[in-house]
A = this chain, B = another copy of it.
Amino acid sequence: MADQEPVASDSAEEIMAGTYRALCDHGFAALTMQDIADECGKSKSLLHYHYNTKEDLLVSFIEYIVDDFESRVEMAATAPPDERLLEFIEWFAFDPNERERQSFHIALLELRTQAPFNERYRAQLQRSDDLLRDTVADILATGIDEGYFVDVDVDRTASLIVAALDGARTRQITLRDETYTRVVTDALLEQLVEPILTDASSILDGGDDPE
């Protein structure tokens, strides 16, 4: 926005970390700029100096978490495709001890219900969806090229994997079901990943561990 001051990098990190904590503690619907300011240890007027509205701040926040995920994907891109796929899927399984993660995803789900009516939220969530699907499609395409996987429709398979992981997470957090993501990641590995591996002994049995 032309009328907003750019945020110095350290301060931006602090504001984003505070926004994350505020979403975990207060949810999305009830969240105020004061809640975020309190979590950051900054004044509300400082936040408003950088972000005109709560919506501006939250759009920047989603952008920030998608950027963060993108960096992690890039860092992991040197590993073999079968390991990358396993790691991607495993990353979505979480257990009841991860309370903060659960609270964050409930808040994010609240925000997602606003996306049909809010073009700016929707644009950031679309970027997140594109990144997730492209990441899986890229892992699959590389793996097929390099002989790790048999030939499959990479885009369609990527959509299925991302949808299953998202649905499992939504059900785990809304139903307070402690095992939904674990059950679904296990099912994905056994019923979708194992059948496309050219060497099924490689990763799924924990091939690296001496047994």
Partner-B contacts on A (CB < 8 A): 29, 106, 109-110, 112-113, 115-116, 122, 125-126, 129, 152-153, 155-157, 159-160, 162-168, 170-171, 173-177, 180, 183-184, 186-188, 190-192, 195
Contact = CB atoms under 8 A, between A and B. Distances in A.
Number of copies: 2
A175 B113 contact: no
Contacts of A171: 129, 162-163, 166
A177 B129 CA distance: 11
Between A113, A168, A175, the greatest number of chain B beta carbons within 10 A of the residue's beta carbon is seen for: A113
Contact of A116 (B116, B165, B176): B176
Contact of A152 (B125, B166, B168, B191): B191
22 contacts: A109-B113, A110-B110, A113-B113, A113-B174, A122-B175, A129-B175, A129-B177, A156-B186, A156-B187, A159-B168, A159-B183, A159-B187, A160-B164, A160-B183, A160-B191, A163-B165, A163-B180, A164-B167, A165-B167, A167-B168, A170-B170, A191-B192
A116 B174 contact: yes
A174 B115 contact: yes
Nearest to A175: B126
Nearest to A106: B116
A32 B156 CA distance: 41
Contacts of A116: 106, 173-174, 176
B122 A176 contact: yes
Given A115-B175, A163-B164, 19 more contacts: A29-B29, A112-B170, A112-B174, A115-B174, A116-B173, A126-B175, A129-B171, A153-B187, A153-B190, A155-B183, A156-B187, A156-B190, A159-B168, A159-B184, A160-B187, A163-B167, A163-B180, A164-B167, A165-B167
